[in-house]
Amino acid sequence: MDNIKRIGILTSGGDCCGLNAVLESVVRTATLKGCEVLGFKRGYFGLYTNDYVVLTDELVYNILGKGGSILGNSNKVNLFNYREEDENGNVTYSNVSNVAIENMKKDKVDALIIVGGDGSITSARDFMRAGIKVVCVPKTIDNDVPYTDQTFGYSSAVAQIVHAINSVRTTAFSHDRIMVLEVMGRHAGWLALEGGLAGNADVILIPEIPYDIEKVAEDLISRYKKGQTGAVVCVSEGAKSKTGEVVKREDNKYPDSVKLGGIGERIAKELEALIFPVTSQEVRSTNLGYIQRGGETDCYDKVLSFRYGSYAVEALYKGEYGKMVSLRGEELTLIPITDVVGNGPVGETSKGGAKNVSLDSDLLRTAKSIGIEFGD
């Protein structure tokens, strides 16, 4: 449809690999259709401050492999519940989305492509309700966005986890140690499960399967007794014991105020207390952290991001607004944003929540069948 002459795009939420590939794909596809692309900087913040750059073919040429986003990211901004803090530390929240909508009108932005995870897609839904033509592209290393088989950024993060497991394994066997590797994923275990499987971890702990630390220790002691002097435990940041809570801190500067992290250290201490008296093995922990979000984008993510980006532009041209591009099997399709994040009040993501590892998935069955321990 020729009513789309100028598209705005923003990369919102935590950064990951593939963001630049989506940008390259969107710009190249749109340019060939004679459409201009404005890239708003630092996610929704750029839409509020009207801070953008005109993305030309020259600017995006061959940026597909570069980690991060040339536009910058922010996971602090919800324009429908915008947080401001004055010099005395007083915090207020207000709906400033009308400023962004005015900016778009003034600069004749016909439609938006929002690249982000569930929080960003929720804001996209709220802009859609305000009459903005919007299409979303699902991003996150956590792979927890529902109604798509895979988000871009996930595959590259799994590759980093595999590399890290292979690296800590050498210390595990040089020093007869147990190495705990904490990985990201929020409340979904995809990164730990697939990274742990491809890295051949001995134990994988994920949020979907609350663990019993004594069972984990028993498994590791039995491996030692069979002659395996080192081992690797891959634990998701959202994992919790059968009796415990997730390890978290609150930070109200972020719309998602729960920040996970630290379970690896806790598990290492608990395991050492149970294992050292029997096998004399020490337990050490490494938190892989932001390494999972950076580095060179892998081939799978490059191709998936290219596919997502060009499909999003095509969707706008077909008038398919209010949708998220989704991978189903081998094919791309479009899913209503309200299916993905629900149709609740402004700013509220569906109670259905994140896409989790299913307990009867083949991935889990495979891991269990080759003897990987889950502590259940």
Please name the residue that has the structure tokens 């719309």.
255
Token pair for residue 369?
């069948």
Number of helical H runs and strand E runs in the chain: 12, 15
Residue 20 or residue 140: which is nearer to ligand F6P going by CB?
Answer: 140
Q: How far is the CB of 36 from ligand F6P (least distance, A)?
A: 31
Partnered with residue 284 across adjacent β-strands are 179
CA distances from 298 to 17, 145, 158, 302 (A): 8, 20, 10, 6
- Report how far residue 281's alpha carbon sits from residue 286's, in angstroms, rounded to the nearest whole number: 16
Q: How far is the CB of 15 from ligand F6P (least distance, A)?
A: 8
Q: How far is the CB of 14 from ligand F6P (least distance, A)?
A: 4
Residue 104 or residue 324: which is nearer to ligand F6P going by CB?
Answer: 324
Residue 138 or residue 322: which is nearer to ligand F6P going by CB?
Answer: 138
CA 39-40-45 angle, to 5 degrees, is 165
Active site residue 376: no
Q: How far is the CB of 247 from ligand F6P (least distance, A)?
A: 12
Which DSSP helix (H) or strand (E) runs through 362? helix 362-369
Cα first-last separation, the chain: 54
Residue 185 or residue 189: which is nearer to ligand F6P going by CB?
Answer: 185
Partnered with residue 114 across adjacent β-strands are 10, 136
Residue 207 or residue 322: which is nearer to ligand F6P going by CB?
Answer: 207
138 and 124 in contact (C-beta within 8 Å)? no
Q: How far is the CB of 316 from ligand F6P (least distance, A)?
A: 26
Residue 293 or residue 323: which is nearer to ligand F6P going by CB?
Answer: 293
Q: How far is the CB of 75 from ligand F6P (least distance, A)?
A: 5
- What residue number has its CB nearest to ligand F6P? 184
Closest CA to 109 of 39, 12, 61, 11: 39
Q: Strands of 283-287's sheet, edge to edge?
A: 203-205, 231-236, 178-183, 283-287
* Binding-site ranges for ligand F6P (CB under 6 A): 14, 75, 117, 140-142, 184-186, 237, 260, 293
- Report how far residue 56's alpha carbon sits from residue 28's, in angstroms, rounded to the nearest whole number: 8
Token pair for residue 238?
């959202």
CA distances from 261 to 180, 181, 265, 352 (A): 13, 12, 9, 23
Of 15, 118, 126, 142, which residue is the catalytic one?
Answer: 142
Residue 262 or residue 347: which is nearer to ligand F6P going by CB?
Answer: 262
CA distances from 295 to 41, 141, 292 (A): 21, 13, 8
Q: How far is the CB of 78 from ligand F6P (least distance, A)?
A: 14
Q: Which residues are catalytic?
A: 142
